Amino acid sequence: MTAPIPAEWAPHRAMWVGWPSHAEYWFEPFEQAQDEVEGLVRALAGPGREQVRLMVGAPELAEGVRARFADLANVEVVPGVFGDVWLRDTGPLFRAGSKTAAAFRFNGWGEKYVMPGDETVAEQIGLHSGAALSWNEFIMEGGSLDHDGEGTVLTTRQCLLNPNRNP
């Protein structure tokens, strides 16, 4: 039997966060976006005591981001390839008490925002985490599911059964 995906609020090993890495994708000032994500990471890793894995999508930014968080022992900077920072939608869903994760095809929110690398985020996170991925052929965003850890999953037809995702 496959281990369930834990509830959103359940304890977990690490929180994956995407670092704003491409100024051309932001409709607001790029530095402001980085400052806001820094505030989130500091709240998670500091008072929240989360282990944060901070994926940086531009190799030339990695050292500067490491220096920015050098005072926090539980922030790990992970070089990666992605366009959008919303890793909740592009990454895998980890199973409870296991080193496995469910991965799905991603098509840029129904081809609305297709950005290079977003379709490979689940694989990158799986490799870095040492998690075996079980690939599912249907298209979806991880954030389109709400799960309670007991096997109940809530979603909408618009997210999963839309013609620009799955017929």
Percent of the chain with pLDDT over 70: 99
Give 43-66 pLDDT, tens digit per residue. 999 988 999 999 999 999 999 999
Q: How does pLDDT run across 129-161, given as a tens digit for each residue?
A: 999 999 999 999 999 999 898 989 899 988 888
Cα–Cα distance measured from residue 20 to residue 23, given in angstroms and rounded to the nearest whole number:
8
d(CA 69, CA 116): 26
Which one-letter amino acid corresponds to residue 23?
A
Mean pLDDT of the chain: 93
Give residue 27's pLDDT band: very low, low, confident or very high (50, 70, 90): confident
If pLDDT is split at 50, 70 and 90, which confidence band does 1 have?
A: low
| CATH homologous superfamily for the domain 15-160 | L-arginine/glycine Amidinotransferase; Chain A (3.75.10.10)
Domain positions in the chain:
15-160
Per-position DSSP letters for 57-111, written without gaps between them: SSGGGHHHHHHHTTT-TTEEEEE---S-S-HHHHS-EEPTTSSEEEEEE--HHHH
Q: What does the DSSP 8-state code read for residue 7? A: P
Tokens of 65: 């981001």
Structural Rg of the chain based on CA atoms = 16
Q: Please check whether residue 103 is in contact with residue 122, taking contact to mean a CB–CB distance below 8 angstroms.
A: yes
